[in-house]
Amino acid sequence: MDKGNKEGPVHTVGAPSDYGIIEAPSNFLDNVGAVNIASLDPVMLTDGVLQRVKPEFESGFGADMRALKSLFVQMRDTGKFDLPLFIRKVHDIRGEAGTFAYQLVSGTGRMIYEFIPSIDKAGQTEQMAIVAHL
């Protein structure tokens, strides 16, 4: 930095031929419509979105839980615990369940999530409890 320059470093801009401005067409207003967003209640908007996507979550939830249980059983049977993968799966299900007000699922996921760091050292009783909770 130039110590004689009290206003900081000097930045130069390239010549106009060095760059160009591209106008990207936007069809946002065509898709969404002109809405005065300031007049809308954000809680009601969020609730509306959640109600629209909740059936999608519920339809896939059983399969997600079966896959998680299968993953744990496979890790237990082989003795090879892929903890980052298991953590990600539990975290995803726990977060989604909480979003849709399934607090029991979210709470059970939290307990399993807290137990994960020592899961590969769990005894048979603890592993049976994990499978039962899944």
15 within some domain: no
Predicted local distance difference test score (pLDDT) of residue 1: 47
Report the alpha-carbon distance of residue 118 to residue 86 in Å, rounded.
Answer: 12
Instruction: Give the residue numbers spanning the domain of 115.
Output: 41-133
Q: How confident is the model at residue 67 (pLDDT cuts 50, 70, 90)?
A: very high
Work out the average pLDDT over 69-73: 90
Asked if residues 90 and 113 have their Cβ atoms less than 8 Å apart, the reply is yes
Report the alpha-carbon distance of residue 130 to residue 68 in Å, rounded.
Answer: 11
Range from 20-34, 41-55, 116-130 carrying the lowest mean pLDDT: 20-34
Report the alpha-carbon distance of residue 94 to residue 100 in Å, rounded.
Answer: 10
Number of structural domains the chain divides into? 1
Report the alpha-carbon distance of residue 99 to residue 106 in Å, rounded.
Answer: 9
108 within some domain: yes
126 within some domain: yes
